[in-house]
Amino acid sequence: EARRRARARGLHNHPNRQRVFALYRRAQRRIGFRRGSTQTVREHAAAHPELSEFAAVVEVAAYRPEPPSEGLAEAAREWLERLRRR
């Protein structure tokens, strides 16, 4: 299990992945609704449509073997800047 945990952690160590995840956490705080522990990103976006654009970026960062591009991470940052605070 220790190896499995280390491997998974290594997959998410890429700077662009970490950046997208941090931006998603910030977006959740900004709208005032955190994702439930059993809720997928898509389910969370369905409940809070203001996150729908960001859901695809988060899924790329979380599930694709290759990390998101710098351009995709930057697009996520720009999207967050446009997200209104509640």
Whole-angstrom Cα distance, residue 38 to residue 63? 16
Residues 8-55: pLDDT tens digits? Answer: 556 678 999 999 999 999 999 998 999 998 999 999 999 999 898 889
Higher pLDDT, 5 or 75: 75
pLDDT at position 7? 47
Q: Are 78 and 19 in contact (CB under 8 A)?
A: no
pLDDT at position 72? 92
CB proximity list for 75: less than 8 A, separation 6 or greater: 57
pLDDT at position 11? 65
pLDDT band at residue 85 using 50, 70 and 90 as cut-offs? low
The predicted model scores a pTM of 0.79
